[in-house]
């Protein structure tokens, strides 16, 4: 390459980087970064402006800065436990005792775990599902502290590939139920425990597979009316915007729910069902269809039946389902919490419950709901792993609009240091990005934008240890993670086009 071109490129890169830095340091030049990047934090103004609940309810920001908030459980004292798989920890958020609508304070309850996701409390035990194990630890409800040491009761669960999260809950029958997603989009699993629901005794004994053909049943709960077990399930990808549906299944012992041979109501899968032999055709015919369809790619995660007598009559015994939102779809869809209502004939009707996580144009994302928990007083808590937030929805409509008068300005961002990109690492990162075909998902479906607003080089490197499903965990080494982080951040800093021209620094 000739020198003139080389220096021209470096010049433009420097100008771009300088501009970037200047804009960030200049509060007067108010660029709504959140709007551009779909920021991963939120605040009361955004919640008041964006989020909507049905009449008779109000929604508030109960806690923010809860990085990677996933599963929830309420203690007997009314405190909230939240799992944060990316941080390897479970935190305790103190119940709102002073009435300001926010958690009073918070602390890490237990850390050093391997991607803890599901959790529940039973008697004086806290059960936690790590990506490869289930453990339990004595828990003191009165002061919200651990009262003994954590011991694993189930080990050796597979957590490779796409859907590594594990969810657990105690059934009304005293068994502990556990779901594990598939390792892939669509394939024949080698490990019989993938894409299933399992169960075992509270001490880990009598482990057995309970139901199969569940691609990724992240949430499940029992109807308080009749004890029936319902589980959400995420349909497969890459069959277009509107097929297959995501599912709600009524799960029965020994039931087979179709995956990977069939989607929706026994529609043979184009890859593994169509043209398959008679044994597979029989399996498809015998598979149990969903009792309710969610639109394709909506990604239903947590489902929780409302049990508190404090709920308005029409919501008592309804179930809330968190639709995490689509990634494999040309126009975003989902991104809300819906309520499911059973009529006398047993038909299920779906209504919006908490919406507004998607902007008007369906591009801007303000949050992605994951799990739902109800406390004894009827407060409904909803976690959001995108904005790192917990919302509280309660009936009674007074407080919600109080702070609604916003001036439409983006929150002021703290100035950030310019990124110290190592061009040698960035180049190796670019090669990894090509070699692993990251563009398959990230070229159009999920553009990787605004990362520098939400990650440091270190936290971006760490991201690859606990990627958001269905992004696979590639098991990258420390050097590889660092290389990818430097590469992706270099795109942000506007120097990607000239990365080849920068001097290598090792």
* Window of 112-120, 210-218, 376-384, 430-438 that interacts with ligand HEC by CB under 6 A: 430-438
Site for ligand HEC in 303-342 (CB under 6 A): 327
**CB nearer ligand HEC, residue 286 or residue 363:** 363
The token pair that represents 30 in the structure block: 């108010």
Judged by beta carbon, residue 135 or residue 367, the one nearer ligand HEC is 367
The distance of closest approach from Cβ of residue 128 to ligand HEC in the complex, given in angstroms and rounded to an integer, is 23
> Toward ligand HEC, which CB reaches closer, 337 or 484?
484
The two three-digit tokens of residue 54, written as one number: 């049905």
CA–CA gap between residue 71 and residue 117 (Å, rounded): 6
The nearest distance, CB 468 to ligand HEC, in angstroms, is 4
Taking CB under 6 A as the rule, which mask of x and - marks residues 154-183 in contact with ligand HEC?
Answer: ------------------------------
Min CB(476)–ligand HEC separation in Å: 8
CA gap 103, 458 in Å, rounded: 29
User: Binding-site residue total for ligand HEC (CB under 6 A)?
Assistant: 17
Residue 252's Cα: distance from chain center in Å? 26
Taking the C-alpha atoms of residue 245 and residue 11, their distance in angstroms, rounded to an integer, is 50
Residues 6+ apart with CB under 8 A from 501: 1, 6, 9, 10, 13
Contact 453, 460 (CB under 8 A): no
Output the smallest distance, CB 47 to ligand HEC, in A: 19
Identity of the residue, 269 or 385, whose beta carbon is nearer to ligand HEC in the bound complex: 385
Q: What residues contact residue 44 under an 8 Å CB cut-off, 6+ apart? A: 60, 61, 403
403 touches ligand HEC (CB under 6 A): no
As given in the structure block, the two tokens for residue 110 are: 């237990």
Q: Which is nearer to ligand HEC, 315 or 327 (CB)?
A: 327
Q: Tell me the closest approach of the beta carbon of residue 287 to ligand HEC, in angstroms.
A: 25
How far apart are alpha carbons 369 and 300 in whole angstroms?
Answer: 9
Angle of CA points 34, 165, 386, to nearest 5°: 10
Mask 83-112, x = binds ligand HEC (CB under 6 A)?
------------------------------
Residue span binding ligand HEC (CB under 6 A) among the ranges 201-209, 255-263, 314-322, 434-442: 434-442
Distance CA 124, CA 146 (A): 10
Residue showing tokens 């509060």: 27
Tell whether omega for the bond before 383 is within 30 degrees of 0, i.e. cis. Answer: no
Work out how close the CB of 453 gets to ligand HEC at its nearest, in angstroms, rounded to a whole number: 10
Binding mask 345-374 for ligand HEC (x = CB under 6 A): ------------------------------
Cβ atoms of residues 88 and 111 within 8 Å: yes
Q: How far is the CB of 454 from ligand HEC (least distance, A)?
A: 6
Nearer to ligand HEC among residue 314 and residue 449 (C-beta): 449
CB of 205 to ligand HEC, least distance (A): 36
Q: How far is the CB of 208 from ligand HEC (least distance, A)?
A: 31
The residue (of 175 and 474) whose beta carbon lies closer to ligand HEC is 474
Minimum distance between the CB of residue 134 and ligand HEC, rounded to whole angstroms? 25
Interface region with ligand HEC, contact rule CB under 6 A, candidates 216-224, 256-264, 296-304, 432-440: 432-440
Only segment of 24-32, 166-174, 242-250, 431-439 that touches ligand HEC (CB under 6 A) = 431-439
User: CA angle at residue 40 from 38 to 46, to 5 degrees?
Assistant: 75
Rounded distance between C-alpha atoms, residue 437 and residue 426, angstroms: 16
- Residue from 39, 375, 433, 466 in contact with ligand HEC (CB under 6 A): 433
d(CA 467, CA 472): 7
Q: Give CB contacts under 8 A, 24+ apart, made by 339-345.
A: 339/315, 340/248, 340/292, 341/314, 342/223, 342/225, 342/317, 342/318
Shortest reach from residue 140's CB to ligand HEC, in Å: 35
Please, which of residues 435-494 interact with ligand HEC by CB under 6 A? 436, 438, 440-442, 446, 448, 463, 467-468, 470-471, 474, 484, 488
CA atoms within 13 A on the CB side of 182: 20
Distances (CA, A) of 88 to 65, 67, 457, 466: 16, 11, 19, 9
Closest contact distance (angstroms) between CB of 233 and ligand HEC is 17
Cα 473 to Cα 67: distance, rounded to the nearest angstrom: 19
Largest CA distance in the chain: 78
Residues that bind ligand HEC (CB under 6 A): 327, 433, 436, 438, 440-442, 446, 448, 463, 467-468, 470-471, 474, 484, 488
């Amino acid at each position: 390459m000739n020198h003139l071109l080389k220096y021209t490129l470096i010049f433009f890169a420097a100008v771009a980087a300088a501009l970037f830095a200047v804009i960030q340091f200049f509060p007067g030049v108010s660029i709504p970064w959140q709007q551009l990047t779909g920021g991963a934090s939120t605040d009361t103004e955004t919640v008041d402006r964006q989020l909507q609940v049905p009449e008779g309810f109000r929604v508030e920001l109960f806690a923010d800065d809860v990085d990677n908030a996933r599963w929830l459980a309420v203690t007997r004292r009314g405190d909230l436990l939240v799992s944060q798989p990316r941080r390897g920890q479970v935190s305790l958020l103190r119940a709102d005792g002073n009435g300001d609508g926010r958690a009073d304070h918070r602390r890490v309850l237990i850390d050093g775990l391997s991607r803890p996701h599901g959790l529940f409390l039973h008697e004086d035990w806290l059960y936690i599902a790590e990506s490869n194990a289930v453990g339990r630890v004595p828990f003191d409800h009165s002061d919200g502290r651990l009262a003994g040491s954590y011991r694993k009761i189930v080990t050796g669960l597979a957590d490779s590939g796409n859907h590594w999260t594990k969810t657990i809950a105690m059934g009304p029958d005293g068994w502990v139920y556990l779901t594990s997603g598939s390792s892939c989009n669509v394939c024949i699993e080698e490990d019989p425990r993938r894409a299933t629901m399992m169960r075992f005794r509270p001490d880990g004994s009598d482990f057995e597979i309970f139901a199969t053909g569940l691609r990724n049943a992240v949430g499940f709960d029992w109807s308080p009316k009749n004890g029936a077990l319902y589980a959400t399930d995420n349909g497969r990808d890459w069959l277009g915007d509107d097929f297959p549906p995501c599912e709600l299944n009524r799960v029965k012992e020994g039931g087979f729910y179709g995956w990977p041979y069939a989607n929706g109501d026994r529609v043979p899968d184009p890859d593994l069902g169509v043209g398959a032999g008679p044994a597979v055709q029989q399996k498809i015919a015998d598979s149990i269809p969903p009792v309710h369809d969610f639109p394709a790619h909506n990604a239903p995660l947590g489902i929780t039946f409302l049990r508190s007598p404090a709920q308005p009559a029409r919501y008592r015994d309804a179930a809330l389902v968190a639709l995490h939102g689509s990634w494999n779809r040309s126009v975003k869809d989902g991104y809300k919490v819906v309520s499911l209502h059973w009529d006398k004939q047993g038909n299920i009707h779906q209504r919006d419950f908490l919406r507004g996580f998607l902007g008007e144009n369906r591009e801007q994302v303000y949050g992605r709901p994951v799990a739902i928990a109800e406390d004894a007083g009827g407060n409904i808590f909803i976690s959001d792993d995108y904005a790192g937030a917990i919302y509280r929805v309660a009936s009674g409509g007074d407080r919600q609009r109080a702070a609604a008068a916003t001036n439409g300005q983006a929150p002021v961002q703290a100035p950030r240091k310019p990124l110290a990109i190592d061009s040698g690492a960035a180049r190796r990162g670019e090669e990894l990005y090509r070699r692993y075909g990251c563009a398959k998902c990230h070229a159009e479906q999920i553009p990787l934008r605004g990362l520098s607003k939400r990650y440091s080089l270190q936290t971006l490197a760490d991201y690859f240890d606990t990627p958001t499903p269905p992004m696979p965990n590639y098991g990258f080494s420390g050097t590889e993670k660092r290389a990818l982080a430097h590469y992706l951040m270099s795109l942000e800093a506007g120097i990607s086009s000239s990365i080849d021209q920068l001097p290598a620094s090792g």
